[in-house]
Structure 1
Amino acid sequence: MLSAQPEHHLVVSDEKVNERVIENLGEYITRFQIEFQPPNTPWQQRDLYDDFSIKLSGHRYLDNGAVIGNVLHQFRPRAGGFDANLCIYYPASVPEELLEQHRQQLVVEFTNWTYCESMHSGQHTLPTRPKRPLCEPSC
């Protein structure tokens, strides 16, 4: 998890497989938790794709309990790999600079994770460019 993205400083899972994370969000080094649960916000429900069978969703919050965003990553297997639709929802007040930085961060980390997995599995392939744009802020 850490080596896939230079802006990851800590990523650990608890006994429920929720994550504690320290990473750069824009210019800020931020500590937060991700509590994974079924998609239950209106924007997560709106963005569900039936043809993506694997879903990873949850809420991102600070130590004081303040929600700083939501997650909805969806995947579908296909011949030779998979397709991914990656969404992080931030409050509408978040500056575009932070959103763009995090879009780039998602591309780097998922590309690296996919590449490393392909090396271990012997497929040695790089992922292709996303077909759908990364999600815009909705909350």
Structure 2
Amino acid sequence: MKLAIKTIINGAEIPYTRVLEWERRRALVVLRKLGVKPAGRDLAGMRQQLAERKQALGAAGMMRILRRELALSGPLATLTAALSCGRRRFSVTELVMSGGTAEQFVDWLNERARINDERSMLAGTPDHYLIRIGANGVQDVVETNGGSPLAARFFIDYQDLSSLRSPVDPAYPLQVAGVARSGGGRAIGGVRHQFRNEGTGFRARLLVEFPLLMLPQVVTGHQWHLASEFSNWIEAAFA
């Protein structure tokens, strides 16, 4: 099934070509970071290069490359969360699909996570380096958030909604939500992605909570990250 996907950021519809161009720019950055010379500017080719390079490096290899960034971003995230005193900024993107159902997509996403299908998870957007459920059921994530210059590592517990600040919208019966914590256990944010059937397809309201004092360009940049990763995951789910 080939779906048409409408992207809405800050109330305005964004042409899908702009989402693809954002992904193309990020693919160039990440390929170079991982030590790969882009074979060209074709996005499909860069996606394939990224998949092959990430698989070849494995999690341990990518962590070695990112070690300096992670050494900086971890303490910064903890400090920013502490100074924000639990207050949050929300990064929100909406997607409207022409077909499929919310149940089908949420089931697909949850199953990919459950079985640790890392190739599918990493293919969401170039800025994904690790998305893996640990033995404790908590998701270990390493990615570059939106407009941040640094990759970050955090842990999402989808059984814990205790410190989320975003409201549940009763118009969306399905959600994927959880608290994000630092390696030291401090709550630094979270996700509340909500879904509902609409018309002949479904709508996704994708939301990430950041500490209030997070740089605004990180929060706004993450709207494009969300548009890219969920568009790609939705296309994969209904391929």
2:156 to 34, 43, 55: 34
Separation of aligned partners in 2, 1:97 and 1:82: 29
Is contact 1:5-1:105 (8 Å) kept?
yes
Indicate the structure with greater strand content: 1
Separation of aligned partners in 2, 1:37 and 1:82: 25
> Which piece of structure 1 moves more, 71-80 or 6-15?
71-80
Separation of aligned partners in 1, 2:164 and 2:135: 28
Greater relative contact order, per chain length (Cα 8 Å cut-off, separation 6+): 2
* Aligned residue identity for 1:27: P
Extract unaligned runs of 5+ from structure 2: 1-120
* Aligned residue identity for 1:11: I
Compared CA separation, residues 100 and 50, structure 1 to 2 (3 A): same
- Taking only aligned residues, the RMSD between alpha carbons, in angstroms, comes to 1.8
Count of paired positions: 117
1:97 counterpart residue number: 217
Deviations 1:35-70 (A, max 9, x none): 1136444623xx211121111211111111122212
TM-score, normalising length from structure 2? 0.46
Indicate the structure with greater helix content: 2
Instruction: Indicate the structure (1 or 2) with the bigger Cα radius of gyration.
Output: 2
The percentage of counterpart residues that share the same residue type is: 26
Compared CA separation, residues 41 and 31, structure 1 to 2 (3 A): closer
2:231 counterpart residue number: 111
**SS state of the match for residue 104, structure 1?**
helix
Matches within 5 A, 1:34-53: 34-37=156-159, 39-41=161-163, 43-44=165-166, 47-53=167-173
* Aligned residue identity for 2:179: H
